[in-house]
């Protein structure tokens, strides 16, 4: 049962529970009208202490398409946080005003802390460079739909693997399905953190390797997951400027890839995927954003325990 649960880390839900969410998302995709009033009278609060367009709009649109209401802020300066209110107090208040909370915060672990003070489910919509479990739901539903299933895939993760929380969450999640292997493509300064390599990949004997050049491995991939260099998490501007153009996916590189490889990206993109790639049938990042809205609709229904009609 997912009712009243928090979603803070991608491992919080069992594989079977994720399947429940995906099958509801698929039902909603087939017949959205049937679900358009199911959250009537319910309120989603979106507390965004960090900039976002996609994730916040995706949550808000999801709730509105279920017939529910939304309140929140997208700018911490417009909330009482700017007066010095603690996160604990804000959450205690907001959990009186709402039925479910989606929260993004620059500090790792903030969503976990919030969940300790909340009377309603808390969804982590990104905590610093740590985790982003609803992007992972989005990514898994996309892979399942476009590649048929979540097993036996060679997944290339490319770009900022150090600060990219979507990457950390996706590695954790895909490690639970059999036969997946990872090729981690990044400059040496932006490698996947050791804790993920040790506690997720090595611990579970999952095949992975780390490389620097995308063109050397692109032909092996079933999925290429591109990411933005996370400018806001760098301590020093010079280092960002040096690394920002590390990878640019263009048609020349795409020509070497399999015909059925899919290109994913959590978005926003800066310059890491050339616009010319958008017209290639393998470019799946806009479709991915669409799956994100439907999977969030399904997640909200499950956490609120609203009946399927």
Are residues 147 and 262 in contact, defined by beta-carbon separation less than 8 angstroms? yes
Q: What is the DSSP letter of 189?
A: G
Which residues from 189-248 bind ligand NCD, rule CB under 6 A? 228
Q: Which is nearer to ligand NCD, 57 or 117 (CB)?
A: 57
Tell me if 120 contacts ligand NCD by CB under 6 A.
no
Under the criterion CB under 6 A, does residue 55 sit at the interface with ligand NCD? yes
Annotated catalytic residue within 55, 142, 154, 227: 55
Contact 79/90 with Cβ under 8 angstroms? yes
Tabulate helix, strand, coil % of the chain (nearest 5): 45, 15, 40
Q: How far is the CB of 135 from ligand NCD (least distance, A)?
A: 5
Least separation in angstroms between residue 32's CB and ligand NCD is 22
Q: Is 199 annotated as a binding residue?
A: no
Q: State yes or no: 267 annotated in a binding site.
A: yes
169 binding ligand NCD? (CB under 6 A)? no
- For residues 76 and 47, give the distance between their C-alpha atoms in angstroms, rounded to a whole number: 8
133 binds ligand NCD, rule: CB under 6 A: no
Q: Are 72 and 52 in contact (CB under 8 A)?
A: no
Residue 6 found at the interface with ligand NCD (CB under 6 A): no
Strand pairing class (181-185; 262-264): unpaired
**By C-alpha distance, which of 238, 255, 225, 239 is closest to 190?**
239
The residue from 42, 165, 172, 302 that contacts ligand NCD (CB under 6 A) is 165
54 is an interface residue for ligand NCD by CB under 6 A: yes
Residue 164, phi then psi, degrees to nearest 5: -75, 100
Q: What angle do CA 137, 141, 144 make, to 5 degrees?
A: 140
> Which regions of the chain does DSSP assign to beta strands (E)?
43-48, 69-73, 100-105, 122-127, 154-158, 181-185, 208-211, 223-226, 262-264
Choosing from 6, 105, 130, 132, which is the catalytic residue? Answer: 132
Alpha carbons 169 and 133: distance in angstroms, whole number: 6
132 binds ligand NCD (CB under 6 A): yes
In this chain, which of 266, 288, 291, 306 binds ligand NCD, going by CB under 6 A?
266
The residue among 118 and 230 lying less far from ligand NCD, judged by its C-beta, is 230
CB 52 to ligand NCD: min, Å:
6
186 binds ligand NCD (CB under 6 A): no
Told to check if 296 binds ligand NCD by CB under 6 A, we report: no
Name the DSSP class of 200: I
> Choosing from 6, 104, 130, 153, which is the catalytic residue?
104
State yes or no: 83 annotated in a binding site. Answer: yes
Q: Which residues pair with 70 in a beta bridge?
A: 44
- The correct pick among 126, 128, 133, 156 for binding ligand NCD (CB under 6 A) is 126
Reply yes or no on whether 132 is catalytic.
yes
Give the integer Cα–Cα distance in Å for 126 and 103: 7
Tell me the C-alpha distance between 201 and 70, whole Å: 38
Total of residues contacting ligand NCD (CB under 6 A):
10
Active site residue 55: yes
Residue among 221 and 289 whose Cβ is closer to ligand NCD: 289
Q: Do 98 and 44 contact (CB within 8 A), yes or no?
A: yes
Binding site as annotated, residues for L-aspartate: 83, 165, 228
List residues near ligand NCD by CB under 6 A: 54-55, 126, 132, 135, 165-166, 228, 266-267
Binding site as annotated, residues for carbamoyl phosphate: 54-55, 104, 132, 135, 267-268
Catalytic residues: 54-55, 83, 104, 132
């Amino acid at each position: 049962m997912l009712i009243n649960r928090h979603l803070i880390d991608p491992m919080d839900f069992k594989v079977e529970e994720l399947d429940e969410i995906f099958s509801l998302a698929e039902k909603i995709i087939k017949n959205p009208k049937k679900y358009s009033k199911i959250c009537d009278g319910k309120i989603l609060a979106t507390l965004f202490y960090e900039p976002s367009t996609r994730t916040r709009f995706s949550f808000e649109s999801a709730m509105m398409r279920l017939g529910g209401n939304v309140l929140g802020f997208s700018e911490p300066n417009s909330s009482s946080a700017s007066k010095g209110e603690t996160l604990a107090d804000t959450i205690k208040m907001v959990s009186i005003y709402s039925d479910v909370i989606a929260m993004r915060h620059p500090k790792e672990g903030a969503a976990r802390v919030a969940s300790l003070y909340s009377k309603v489910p808390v969804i982590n919509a990104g905590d610093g460079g740590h985790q982003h479990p609803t992007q992972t739901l989005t990514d898994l539903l996309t892979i399942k739909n476009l590649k048929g299933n979540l097993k036996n895939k060679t997944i290339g993760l490319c770009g900022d693997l150090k600060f990219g929380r979507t990457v950390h969450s996706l590695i954790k999640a895909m490690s639970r399905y059999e036969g997946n292997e990872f090729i981690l493509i990044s400059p040496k300064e932006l490698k996947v953190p050791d804790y993920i390599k040790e506690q997720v990949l090595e611990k579970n004997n999952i095949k992975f390797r780390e490389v620097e050049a995308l063109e050397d491995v692109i032909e092996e991939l079933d999925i290429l997951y591109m990411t933005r260099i996370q400018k806001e998490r760098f301590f020093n501007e010079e280092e960002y400027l040096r690394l920002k153009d590390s990878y640019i996916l263009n048609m020349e590189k795409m020509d070497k890839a399999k015909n059925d490889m899919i290109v994913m990206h959590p978005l926003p993109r800066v310059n890491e995927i050339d616009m010319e790639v958008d017209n290639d049938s393998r470019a799946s990042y806009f479709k991915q954003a669409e799956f994100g809205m439907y999977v969030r609709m399904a997640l909200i229904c499950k956490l609120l325990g609203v009946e399927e009609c």
